Amino acid sequence: MRVISYSNAINETFRQMMQADPRVFLIGQGVTSPWYVGSTTHGLLDDFGPERVIDTPVSENAITGAAVGAALAGMRPVVVHPRLDFMYYAFDPIANHAAPWYYMFGGQHSVPLTIWGIINRGGEQAAQHSQAIQAFFAHLPGLKVVMPSTPYDAKGLLVSAIRDPNPVVFIDDRWLYEFQGEVPESLYEIPIGKGTVKMSGDDVTLIATSYMVHEALKAAETVKREGISVEVIDPRSLKPFDDKLLFSSVEKTRRLIIADGGWKTYGIAAEMAALVAETGIVSTLKSPVLRITLPDMPAPASAPLELKYYKREPELISAIRKIMGK
| 8-state DSSP, 202 | S
| DSSP code at position 99 | T
Question: For 249-278, b where at least 16 C-beta lie within 10 A, e where not — what string?
Answer: bbeebebbbbbbbbbeeebbbbbbbebbee
Are the CB atoms for 253 and 204 separated by under 8 Å? Answer: yes
Active site residues: 129
Do the beta carbons of residue 240 and residue 264 sit within 8 Å? no
Identity of the amino acid at 282: V
Q: b/e string for 151-177 if b means 16 or more Cβ within 10 A?
A: bbbbbbbbbbbbbbebbbbbbbbbbbb
Neighbour count for residue 65 (Cβ, 10 Å)? 18
Q: Are strands 168-173 and 144-146 parallel, antiparallel or unpaired?
A: parallel
Cα 187 from chain centroid (whole Å): 20
Q: Quick one: which of 284, 234, 281 has its CA closest to 260? A: 234
DSSP tag of 92? I
> DSSP code of 84?
G
Residue pair 118/155 in contact (Cβ under 8 Å)? The answer is: no
Q: What are phi and psi of 15, to 5 degrees?
A: -60, -50
Strand 204-208 and strand 53-55: the pairing is: unpaired
CA–CA separation, 271 and 62 (whole Å): 32
